A and B are shown apart, each in its own frame.
Chain A
Amino acid sequence: MATDVKANVIEGSLTPNALKSDVALKLLKKTGRGVGGFFLSFAIIFIIIALWEAFPRFGWIDPFLLPPFSEVLGNTLNLFKTGEFFKHFNVSVVRIVTGFFGGLCLAIPLGVFMGWFKTFEEYVNPLVEACRNSSVLTLYPIFILLFGIGEKAKISIIMWGTVWVVLLNTISGVKNVDPVLIKSARSMGMRDWSLLWKVILPAATPSIITGVRLGAANSILILIAAEMIGSNAGLGYMIFYYEARYAIPEMYGGVVFLAIMGLAVNEALFRLEKRLTSWHEKSIYFGT
């Protein structure tokens, strides 16, 4: 009954009787979006691109500050052709992948461990919270001091930006597993190891994934900041370099690419989350 009422609100005009089966609900949701919804979803992107093209063309915006979209696209494609772009892209990918996955490999096992041994976690928690709450970039000079200006400093600062948020989310995920699940698994004679794999980890997954998504966003932000100073390659370096050289279309190309990259990473993690977890999303609008 409760789902019927909610679904009713989501779809607006449907009667609860029409939503008896899950299959029907899914079908209705899909068709409810329809062709119009699809166009509506992309309308704003087209509008922005059109404005971006029109404003500088007609001289409403100084075309030096904002070159027309087509020019940005052309110059960016040129960067792809010359391979200049991939040079920076590869450097950045190596940094971010090493730092981010290194952070995950440290944080998730440690988080499971700390969530399992609650006493240990209680003692260490204040320090972890302190590390998490200290602004990452603030510590960048220390990393430079320790590792010199180079790959090591950049990778370790990205790692630092990933570790704490993933660690805290893993701990809270493992700690907050419904005790009923653990007790019933235990009462059926489950051993520690399979309890961990079959009950605790799956139950903690949503929380861990949330941490991973936050960590990914953090690591892109830190990557750009780290490449802003003391660097001679990478996407972050590239956009500031083109800005300083007044190669404005190329700069916008880099910015757009970074935006799309962020979107793609988030989309991938979102898909992963959907695959690994299953819960119902509910959404309502109050204005209609």
Chain B
Amino acid sequence: MTVIPAQKKLLSGQFIFRKTIAIAIFLFIWQVFPSLEIINPRTLPPLSVVLTKLWQIIINGELRVHIAISLKRSVSGFSAAVVVAIPLGFMMVWSKKIHQFFNPIVQLFRNTSSLALYPVVLLIFGIGETAKFIIIFWTASWPLLISVIDGVRAVDAIYVKAAKSMSISTVALFFRVILPSTIPYILTGLRISATRSMVALVAAEMLGASSGLGYLIFDTQNKDEIDKMYAAIITLISIGMLINFGLIRLEKRLTVWKRSA
């Protein structure tokens, strides 16, 4: 009885060590190599310099402005995609005929890199917030739509058959059988589309923007403010990871039934 907790503690200590050692070594190299000028510090300033700069732009509020505008863009585009794409996905697999009808266009657009349509969006909406919203919305929509379609098509036919043989209504079939088994797919879709919309956000801010984290990164690179550039990159990557982590958490919570079954 007394041994087990001690062992557990040791194990968890080992676990933490395993999980952090690679990243620790990476950060160590980032600090030491530029300091010793093994890597040119003009290309890669030491970690401490970058962190100091990061702290500085957090304090003077510069970073907050860019984060706010980037979040506004990505959240609005992403939520619009969630609201539109998920119901649309369910409608597209309602029946074999409907699915067959829409399938070619879905296949075409899922494989069309969303950035290829960015010039079209720019042409129609001009350089501005609308164009950025549209391109993020578009990018985020397809993975969601496809995950819903794939999810519904992967529902085990036996469940549907069983529910139907117990004369379930179509509405109840949808909410009791189809939707719960589609949720893991939707959550995977959410994660893919969150990642993609980050890419779209940065690309949209690369071109014709005067604010936002994507703009900040490319602007500071042009102005040769390298430490600030790295600070902005760290911020953007951290936000991306935070969102991803949050979605993984949500996934685990919503699919508890799956593991217990």
A residues neighboring B (CB under 8 Å): 2, 5-6, 8-10, 12, 37, 40-45, 48, 65, 122-127, 130, 133-139, 141-142, 144-146, 217, 220-221, 223-225, 228-229, 236, 239-240, 242-243, 248, 251-252, 254-255, 258-259, 262-263, 265-266, 282-288
Contacts and interface: CB of A to CB of B under 8 A. Distances in A.
Given A130-B23, A133-B240, A138-B217, A44 B105 contact: yes
Interface of B: 18-23, 26, 43, 93-105, 107-109, 111-120, 122-124, 152-158, 160-161, 170, 173-174, 177-178, 195-196, 198-199, 202-203, 206-207, 214, 217-218, 220-221, 226, 229-230, 233, 236-237, 240-241, 244
A217 B207 contact: no
B94 A285 contact: yes
A37 B100 contact: yes
B111 A265 contact: yes
Contacts of B240: 133-135, 138
Contacts of B202: 135, 137-138, 225
A145 B225 CA distance: 11
Given A229-B207, A252-B120, A44 B199 contact: no
A44 B102 contact: yes
Contacts of A41: 100-101, 103-104
Nearest to B94: A287
12 contacts: A5-B161, A45-B104, A133-B244, A138-B214, A240-B118, A255-B119, A262-B112, A263-B111, A282-B154, A284-B157, A285-B152, A286-B94
Contact of B93 (A139, A229, A239, A285): A285
B239 to A, nearest CB: 9
A232 B230 CA distance: 27
Given A48-B105, A126-B19, A286-B174, A259 B26 contact: no
B222 to A, nearest CB: 9
B122 A243 contact: yes
**Top 8 A-B pairs ranked by shortest CB distance?**
A287-B94, A243-B119, A262-B111, A141-B221, A259-B112, A127-B22, A258-B116, A137-B202
Contact of A259 (B99, B111, B226): B111
A240 B233 contact: no
B101 A285 contact: no
Contacts of A126: 19-20, 22-23
A229 B112 CA distance: 20
A108 to B, nearest CB: 21
A141 B123 contact: no
Contacts of B207: 228-229, 240
A225 B206 contact: yes
Contact of A65 (B96, B111, B124): B124
Nearest to A136: B199
A41 B23 CA distance: 50
A133 B241 contact: yes
A133 B95 CA distance: 36
Contact of A6 (B19, B26, B158, B199): B158
A26 to B, nearest CB: 18
B221 A145 contact: yes
Contact of B96 (A44, A224, A259, A288): A288
B123 A283 contact: no
Contacts of B124: 65
Given A65-B123, A127-B26, A138-B202, A122 B18 contact: yes
Contact of B237 (A37, A135, A243, A283): A135
